[in-house]
């Protein structure tokens, strides 16, 4: 699977929107873009995933660039509970390695009250 | 529905010992994978089990082994423990996402292993 690049850390004020960027310049046409987050002392938690179109769910929105070489996870109103490490991961839909996700080091999000 | 549960939550071993970590999958999930997370790093894939057989492995030596049982629960065994094996061990279960075909993982909270 292709690799991703994320900033090491970001800060946001509580109740403001947060835009977490991810670069994936070597993405292939069959790579899904996944986002997971890991709260302190917990296992990673699924946030959202998409292929080409923007996606929304109850947790967040995923905006995918037209050339698919970058994407942005959008938290519409950050809360203190959103403080976590956010991982952007590519997964090839044709992969035969099932659950082998490459996590990288992610972006550590700090939410300021 | 219950999520993924792991046991024990914390344990301490000494070099050369063996350890067994346990994982109960989320109800209905038939695929289990194990990850190792060193301090300050992202999780690293160890291996995956489907229908009681290993069907994918990351860059880990053979002293890392596993089992999956008919009820889809799983064990991770590590022999001849080394200091570098100190880490958080995460279990994740999954079914393929029916709407898009992309696997979504459900993780447990992990087992924190310290090797002295």
How far is the C-alpha of A11 from the C-alpha of A113, rounded, in Å? 11
Distance CA B88, CA A101 (A): 16
What percentage of chain B carries pLDDT values higher than 70?
94
Find the mean pLDDT for residues A14-32.
93
- At B96 the pLDDT is 59
Dmax (CA) of chain B: 46
pLDDT cut 90: percent of chain A above it: 76
Q: Report whether pLDDT(B1) > 60.
A: no
Which is nearest to A99 in space by CA: B33, B30, B68? Answer: B33
Share of chain B above pLDDT 90, in %: 72
- Partner A, chain B 17-36, Cβ-Cβ below 8 Å: 31, 33, 35
A97 with B56: Cβ contact below 8 A = yes
For chain A, give the percent of residues with pLDDT over 70. 93
Q: Report the C-alpha gap between B52 and A81 in whole angstroms.
A: 37
Tokens read off for B97? 């996402």
CA-nearest of B97, B100, B99 to B29 is: B97
Give the model confidence (pLDDT) of A61-106 as tens digits: 999 999 999 999 999 999 999 999 999 998 876 666 667 788 888 9
Question: Please, which residues have CB within 8 angstroms of residue B6's CB and are 6 or more apart in sequence?
Answer: B21, B22, B23, B24, B89, B90, B91, B108, B109, B110, B111
Is B109 close to A49, i.e. CB distance below 8 A? no
What confidence tens digit (pLDDT) does each residue in B8-64 have? Answer: 999 999 999 999 999 999 888 888 999 999 999 999 999 999 888 998 899 999 999
Please give the residue of chain A at the shortest CA–CA distance from B112: A41
Interface test with B, best of A37, A39, A43, A95 (most B CBs within 10 A): A43
């Amino acid at each position: 699977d292709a690799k991703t690049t994320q900033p090491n850390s970001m800060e946001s004020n509580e109740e403001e929107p947060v835009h977490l960027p991810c670069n994936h310049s070597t993405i292939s046409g069959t790579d899904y873009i996944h986002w997971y987050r890991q709260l302190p002392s917990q296992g990673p938690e699924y946030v959202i995933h998409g292929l080409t179109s923007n996606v929304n769910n109850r947790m967040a929105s995923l905006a995918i660039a037209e050339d698919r070489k970058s994407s942005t996870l959008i938290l519409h109103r950050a809360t203190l509970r959103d403080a976590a490490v956010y991982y952007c991961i590519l997964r090839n839909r044709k992969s035969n390695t099932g659950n082998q996700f490459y996590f990288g080091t992610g972006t550590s999000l700090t939410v300021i009250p | 529905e219950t999520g993924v549960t792991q046991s024990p939550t914390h344990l301490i071993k000494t070099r050369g010992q063996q350890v067994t970590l346990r994982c109960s999958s989320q109800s209905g999930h038939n695929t289990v994978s194990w990850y190792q997370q060193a301090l300050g790093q992202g999780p690293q894939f160890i291996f995956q089990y489907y229908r009681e057989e290993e069907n994918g492995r990351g860059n880990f030596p053979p002293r890392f082994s596993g089992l999956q049982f008919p009820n889809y629960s799983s064990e991770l065994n590590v022999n001849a423990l080394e200091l570098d094996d100190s880490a958080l061990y995460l279990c994740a279960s999954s079914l393929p996402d029916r709407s898009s075909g992309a696997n979504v993982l459900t993780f447990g909270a992990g087992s924190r292993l310290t090797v002295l």
